[in-house]
């Protein structure tokens, strides 16, 4: 197990390297630069800025320096947020995204798995149809439609919750963004759970359990749930990484100060270092979560052994 983990970690290094290299050179290849303004800068000022951000060195040298910086945990200064470094921006934004995303994933997991299991048990009956229709709707309605509807209903008309703002992460500020973020995930997880649960419920060992006279609840919780969760778990890895690194749409609509918006704003402003910082950070999270998923597999499925 330990050897497997070490091997996985080592093999992550080339993956990250390729990711960094591709992102770095693609970002630089994009037309326009951080100092392109409507009023072009006087040449001497642009030269000063380029020198200050060391954009005049050959690209390979800049790349090497960037890699060196990452090893020291230094993502460089932001071009767009001139009073902050990228490391500081990620350090203040990520806890917010993490809190929001983790709550959404947890909510999605609890509701999604429950609803999916119920639907599987009541396969092809009314409950099943309702769960599946609702979840299909959840998947098809995009965030940018759902979020404003939630605001309209719960903030403007019912006046129960704030329409936006983070308020240092107060519960009332979190409810709507968490729901908006969780809804599509609930839907996915419910459908995945239902599918695999139906399959598991038809398998021989469940039939044996039934023959032994175990109650439905006992069968479901003790025997069926673990194997049925396998596809959910493999979905959960990348989904969690995506959700906790922030959703551009949700953050923008609710005014949540997470790191999701840095992606888009950074790219639009050609804030090279900010985009790179978020990409590298995101890459590391994805790798970490996929690794965790594989470990979870070994726990869930006795057939999977790592050595």
- Tell the smallest beta-carbon distance from residue 248 to another protein (Å): 10
Is the distance from CB of 282 to CB of 245 less than 8 angstroms?
Answer: yes
Rounded to the nearest whole angstrom, what is the least distance from the CB of residue 105 to another protein in the complex? 22
Helices (H), 122-170: 126-140, 143-150
Q: Measured from the CB of residue 82, what is the shortest distance to another protein in angstroms?
A: 4
Total residues found in the chain within this entry: 307
CB of 301 to another protein, least distance (A): 36
CA atoms within 13 A on the CB side of 253: 22
The structure tokens listed for 212 are 């032994």
Nearer to another protein, 39 or 303 (CB): 39
Q: What gap in Å lies between CA 215 and CA 220, rounded to an integer?
A: 9
CA distance 231 to 56: 49
Of 93 and 112, CB closest to another protein: 93
Q: Residue 81 or 235: which CB sits closer to another protein?
A: 81
Q: Minimum distance from CB of 226 to another protein (Å)? A: 32
Instruction: Tell me whether residue 103 or residue 196 sits nearer to another protein (CB atom).
Output: 103
CA distances from 199 to 9, 50, 110, 121, 203 (A): 34, 60, 20, 11, 7
**202 strand-pairing partners:** none
The contact set with another protein (CB under 8 A) reads 30-33, 35-42, 44-45, 48-49, 52, 80-84, 89, 92-93, 126, 129-130, 133-134, 148-149, 151-153, 155-157, 159, 162-166, 251-258, 261, 265, 268-270
Quick one: 148 or 238, whose CB is closer to another protein?
A: 148
């Amino acid at each position: 197990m330990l050897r497997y983990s070490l091997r996985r970690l080592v093999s992550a290094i080339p993956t990250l390297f390729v990711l960094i290299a591709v992102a770095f050179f693609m970002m630089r290849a994009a037309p326009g630069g951080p100092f392109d303004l409507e009023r072009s800068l006087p040449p001497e000022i642009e030269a000063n800025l380029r020198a200050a951000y060391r954009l005049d060195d050959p690209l390979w040298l800049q790349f090497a320096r960037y890699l060196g910086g990452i090893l020291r945990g230094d993502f460089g200064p932001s071009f767009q947020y001139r009073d902050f470094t990228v490391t500081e921006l990620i350090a203040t934004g990520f806890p917010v995204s993490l809190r929001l995303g983790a709550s959404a994933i947890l909510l999605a997991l609890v509701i999604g798995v429950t609803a999916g299991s119920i639907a599987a048990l009541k396969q092809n009956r009314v409950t099943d149809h309702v769960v599946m229709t609702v979840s299909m709707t959840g998947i098809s309605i995009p965030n940018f439609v759902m979020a404003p509807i939630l605001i309209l209903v719960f903030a403007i008309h019912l006046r129960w919750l704030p329409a936006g703002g983070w308020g240092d992460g107060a519960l009332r500020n979190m409810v709507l963004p968490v729901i908006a973020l969780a809804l599509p995930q609930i839907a996915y997880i419910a459908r995945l759970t239902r599918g695999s649960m139906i399959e598991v419920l038809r398998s021989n060992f469940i039939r044996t359990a039934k023959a032994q006279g175990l109650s439905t609840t006992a069968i479901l919780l003790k025997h069926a749930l673990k194997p049925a969760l396998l596809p959910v778990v493999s979905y959960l890895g990348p989904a969690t990484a995506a959700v906790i690194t922030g959703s551009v749409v949700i953050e923008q609509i609710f005014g949540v100060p997470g790191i999701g918006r840095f992606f888009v704003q950074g790219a639009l402003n050609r804030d090279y270092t900010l985009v790179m910082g978020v990409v590298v950070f995101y890459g590391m999270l994805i790798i970490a979560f996929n690794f965790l998923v594989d470990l979870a597999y070994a726990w869930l499925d006795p057939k999977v052994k790592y050595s």
